[in-house]
Structure 1
């Protein structure tokens, strides 16, 4: 039997502080950050993560996180999911503010290590009929922010001249060129992906005279135009193209809401070399020659494009080829884009 000894009583504050330090140390020692190989971001889900009509996240969830436990991240709009292979993902929310604030909350969570992570920013989008079609999937070469500048009404400028002027001070965040080697590698892995299509989309395409608009779904690259404003019609489409040319980017092929803002957040912490933006077109950003912009924005029953379910499937079909290659050949990807 061990002898007992009397110990002088410690002040309560000192005892509590010591306990807190001990608890913190134990928690830190027992929970090394989880390394994330790939992070997949979606912007919205329609209902549940599985078993109902699929939004942007469901196909990813069903492929990678069926058995994963949801993890609440303070400041993020939705739970985070991770599998044992190091693939994590979440729904970030629609628009620049919701998506970028969720991304920052996740990146700053000390339970996860994003130092070697490859990011796939995915979702549905629009496309100009001269550059894409319903069901098409695109890897971004450039991200342009549509909103950072000055605009004025057409009657307040000279006829035929642009209605947009960049605002000084945003040079570093209004346009991002994504890693060309990464885009090339993503295309090499996914360009021949068999894509889904629908009869409604096939019929809808025939309303447009553009050769691109009439194509069956395919995979391509180009600039993605990011804006909280749902710009629409041939006039604003021409303005968006003017902006890409002004910034020295490629032709714009996608209109979406979030990627430039999310990229700004990732760039502050980890740079842009490991960011991929992947979008699938579910609508044209302007009407056909026989309808006004307002008619296209508010179509009569039976006059919608269709193909939404097929497009969200195509996004995951294309993106998973790159995600799986990263995981399966992590020794080649960990330090950068493979060169072989």
Structure 2
């Protein structure tokens, strides 16, 4: 009888603890950073897309396991949160969905930064440059057919008009412009390897040192390379009225779409660094560009990933330091 009484008290205490947990106020997130992959550990080894963010903001943060997400979410005491969402449109968007529906978080006033590495066409960018997106475009939504099934010389991929809103997200231009203004003069790292590599390209933009810019980010589930597919990517942007593409990546439009469907589309930013060109130089084939000879590498991954963090952190620090001004939307200058 005494044992039953003890068990009854324990049950009441357990129910009380669960109720208290369920009644706890959700954590207010001010800025959420979503990267796509990490290399090894979250800190202390070779940095992937997330490590600098983790070390800069989240190493002492609280960790939350989220059902359905690829990795945990970390939230620090200042309201900065982040996670590794997974590579490709499917994994990244499903992770973002799982995180957004978790009742432990309050994303009602959150600014979202989708970040990571990417490629760039040599006419528009250079190795280790960093670009804020003004448009997010899906490269894959179109019509495709085999060689020999259309007239010779006709394209094998077509994007027909009528689905622009499905393929394209125009980000909040006021927010994008403010992020650019806050970060455009950020000192960026470079490497001797990248400096030498750029000399292989005749384009003036490709030969530039790293810089901060704005342009369209095109997402594809394939790692497309070469001048032909680069023209095709721009054709997709032209059909969708989405400006000039400067970044090739794999997740942006998918993650951006999820965030938009949850009602936060006016607070989405995409920040990518170009760690390679999306095509070879005039003296190499596309396959030679994909499988380069020893020593013929861009050398921009480590510097680019660091540059993306340094640029993005300036925006994050501004928002956190002046939250009362940013909470209700992009403030006046």
Partner of 1:149: 142
Which of 143, 154, 163 matches 2:156? Answer: 163
Q: Compute the displacement of 1:156 (Å).
A: 3.8
Q: Which runs of 5+ in 1 are unaligned?
A: 1-16
Partner of 1:8: none
Q: Aligned partners of 1:155, 1:236: CA distance in 2, in Å?
A: 19
Q: Compute the displacement of 1:172 (Å).
A: 3.0
Which of 266, 290, 295 matches 1:302? Answer: 295
Bigger shift: residues 127-136 or 145-154: 145-154
Deviations 1:278-311 (A, max 9, x none): 0000010000010110110111111111121100
Q: Aligned partners of 2:25, 2:126: CA distance in 1, in Å?
A: 46
Q: Aligned partners of 1:171, 1:247: CA distance in 2, in Å?
A: 5
Q: Find the residue that maps to 1:173 and give its secondary structure.
A: helix
Which of 92, 117, 120 matches 1:127? Answer: 120
Deviations 1:308-334 (A, max 9, x none): 110000000100111111101111111
Q: Aligned partners of 2:164, 2:231: CA distance in 1, in Å?
A: 22
Q: Aligned partners of 2:172, 2:153: CA distance in 1, in Å?
A: 35
Partner of 2:169: 176
Q: Aligned partners of 1:331, 1:154: CA distance in 2, in Å?
A: 58
Paired residues for 1:85-234 under 5 Å: 85-153=78-146, 155-158=148-151, 161-166=154-159, 170-234=163-227
State the structure with more CA Rg: 1
Answer whether contact 1:173 1:264 (CA < 8 A) is retained. Answer: no
RMSD between superposed Cα atoms in Å: 2.1
Q: Aligned partners of 1:244, 1:72: CA distance in 2, in Å?
A: 38
Which structure dedicates a bigger proportion of its chain to helix? 2
Answer whether contact 1:80 1:88 (CA < 8 A) is retained. Answer: yes
Q: Find the residue that maps to 1:48 and give its secondary structure.
A: coil
Q: Compute the displacement of 1:188 (Å).
A: 0.5
Answer whether contact 2:126 2:208 (CA < 8 A) is retained. Answer: yes
Q: Compute the displacement of 1:162 (Å).
A: 4.0
Which of 277, 280, 283 matches 1:284? Answer: 277
Partner of 1:261: 254
Which of 20, 26, 30 matches 1:26? Answer: 20
Q: Compute the displacement of 1:80 (Å).
A: 1.0
Partner of 2:327: 334
Which of 16, 29, 45 matches 1:36? Answer: 29
